[in-house]
Amino acid sequence: MHVAVRADGGPEIGYGHLVRTSALVEALLNTDHVVTIATTTPQNAQEVYPEACSVVEVSSRGDPETFLDRLSESNPDAVVTDAYPIDTDYQRAVMERYPHLVIQDDARHTICSDVLVNGNLYAPSLDYEYIDDQPQWCLGPEYLLLRRAIAVLADDEPPWRDPPKQMLVTMGGSDIARLTPTVIRAVNGFDLHVDAIVGPGCSEEQEQDIRDAASTVSTDVRVDRDPDDFPKRMFEADLAVSTASTTTYELLALGTPIVSCPVVDNQQPIATALRERDAATVVEPDGGETEFQTAVNEYLNDPELRQSRRQIGRNLVDGHGTRRVLRELLSLAGENTDT
């Protein structure tokens, strides 16, 4: 089967769409299917997706014809789209030619597709509208697209240390709010080893600011850019500070207690869902060092809270949503779903 995936990502718009669709792409490639990525951000896509897929550039985020023209030569068996500008008209244009699976974080667009996937915690509560035939609804964390490395680790029992010794800081692929130095300064003097992750979209200036902050604190801080063992570091951390993004869901699946900070508007629903389920400590980006310090210190001094958050996270996200979405996609294209 040949699947075309339409997604964009980068420092300005974030990497979330690329990261989560890369999980589905990885699963397709591992089951011997062919994948073409169509994107307005080819360089960023090549950094995120496996090398075995083809990456082609399209000239417009919101014009379906530029996308469909690129597909006319390859004629895929199914199309996956994951981008905010893919509205109802765009979806219908794709549906007229190919079986279509839409990944969407909200209900801003009336749905015109065969399958809708929204793996967010809040997804089942949204009021969706659709035209033409009703799509197959794949809503909630049961359909979260998480990487295979996360799914494998999610089946293991996470480590337990009391008192905690390892903390992870990961503020997104491009740290658009530039909060990593703030978090590092907030934990000055804490008896911790801190892994501070520089995302692939961070500039050299941002990385230097992070390293400068690490050099001014007494806490043991290691700064690394986009490490290959990132999933393992998330799994082994006793707690993590992260944006309210795809990484939040990975940490929930791994049972890592989270301090979550929404840094853009589309992360607020995730933050709200985390609060409602007592699944993380949520702080606001304008809270500064004090709010991060208080949140981290609460985890350090409350083993029952860490245990509770670990269990809540693993109950909410089992890590195998990608496998379920793959089955829906294969079924849509008339393929064998025994995977």
SS3 261: strand
- Specify the 3-state DSSP secondary structure of 31: coil
Kind of pairing, strands 78-82 and 100-103? parallel
> Considering only CA atoms, which of 314, 275, 297, 332 is closest in space to residue 115?
332
- The type of residue at 47 is E
pLDDT at 11: 85
Torsion of CA 273, 166, 15, 105, to 10 degrees: -10
Give the pLDDT confidence score for residue 338 in this predicted structure: 65
φ and ψ at residue 108, rounded to 5 degrees:
-65, -30
Q: How far apart are CA 320 and CA 259, in angstroms?
A: 23
Residue 272: which residues within 8 A CB-CB, separation 6 or more? 122
Backbone angles phi, psi at 142, to 5 degrees: -60, -20
pLDDT reported for residue 333? 87
Average confidence (pLDDT) over 204-216: 98
- For the sheet with 136-139, list strands across it: 54-57, 34-39, 2-7, 78-82, 100-103, 115-118, 136-139
CA-to-CA dists, residue 196 to 161, 181, 226, angstroms: 20, 9, 10
Calculate the average pLDDT of the chain: 95
Tokens linked to 56: 């082609």
According to DSSP, the β-strands at 258-261 and 239-243 are parallel
Tokens standing for residue 3: 């699947």
Asked if residue 238 has pLDDT above 60, the reply is yes
In the chain, what is the straight-line distance between the N-terminal and C-terminal CA atoms, in Å? 14
Work out the pLDDT band at 211, boundaries 50, 70, 90. very high
Edge-to-edge strands of the sheet including 281-282?
220-225, 193-198, 166-170, 239-243, 258-261, 281-282
- Other CB atoms within a 10 A radius of the CB of residue 143 amount to 23
Categorize the per-residue pLDDT at 155 as very low, low, confident or very high, splitting at 50, 70 and 90. very high
Q: Could you say which DSSP state residue 137 is in?
A: E
Q: Could you tell me how many residues make up the chain?
A: 339
Kindly report, residue by residue over 268-297, the tens digit of the pLDDT: 999 999 999 999 999 999 999 999 999 999
Name the DSSP class of 250.
H
Nearest to 144 by CA among 246, 22, 288: 246
| pLDDT for res 285 | 92
Q: What sign does the dihedral 100-104-109-115 (CA atoms) show? A: positive
Q: What is the mean pLDDT of residues 297-321?
A: 97
Kind of pairing between the strands at 34-39 and 2-7: parallel
Q: 54 forms bridges with which residues in the sheet?
A: 36
Full set of structural domains in the chain with CATH: 2-146+319-332 (3.40.50.11190), 152-316 (3.40.50.2000)
Give the residue with greater pLDDT, 53 vs 15. 53
Confidence (pLDDT) at 339: 55
Q: Tokens 């979209």, residue?
A: 201
Q: State yes or no: pLDDT of 337 exceeds 80.
A: no
Q: What is the pTM of this model?
A: 0.92
Pairing of strands 281-282, 258-261: parallel
DSSP secondary structure of 323-338:
HHHHHHHHHHTT----
pLDDT at 8 over 60: yes
Q: What stretches of the chain adopt beta strand conformation (E)?
A: 2-7, 34-39, 54-57, 78-82, 100-103, 115-118, 136-139, 166-170, 193-198, 220-225, 239-243, 258-261, 281-282
How does residue 335 score in pLDDT terms, banded at 50, 70 and 90?
A: confident
What is the pLDDT, as a whole number, of residue 134? 97
